[in-house]
Structure 1
Amino acid sequence: MHKGDEVYITRTGKFYHYFDDDCPTTSRILKGKTPARKIKEEEAIKGGYTLCRHCAKEYAEDLAERRGCSTAAIFFLAAGIGASFILKIFI
């Protein structure tokens, strides 16, 4: 999951990577196998780097999960309100 506004840039890469161990490149960076530097995400974009496909996929999945959870929370909240209303009618 993406956290913060800093990203990794490898020495020879054209992409930037989130701090997410699901990304193979970030995993190698975190293990010390690939040298990289941290910069702000907006600097990476201004520098012509693009988000790597693995990080982009994970980020999209995280957003979808968040949207799904909020939708489910609203549904259960509404169901709870409806159930308490029905109980008041019958009690």
Structure 2
Amino acid sequence: MQKEENMKVLKDVKVGEKATVRRLHGEGPTKRRIMDMGITKGVEILVRKVAPLGDPMELNVRGYELSIRKADAEMIEVEE
């Protein structure tokens, strides 16, 4: 995936900050898995924790807690 200059992805969001999903990148099964976890366009995400090495990230999405890998977080374009 080619990252645009001003594009912000979920991996860049700091602990305690909220962001809104703008767009999902990725193909087929990977994109479908992210959507099946409840991460879809327009949804608000709160970053709760990030593991010491950055993997995984713990999120609050639609009222539940979710952990995702850094690689998946890079495919989720967000705006604050």
Q: TM-score, normalised by structure 1?
A: 0.23
Q: Which has the higher strand share?
A: 2
Structure (1 or 2) with the larger CA radius of gyration: 1
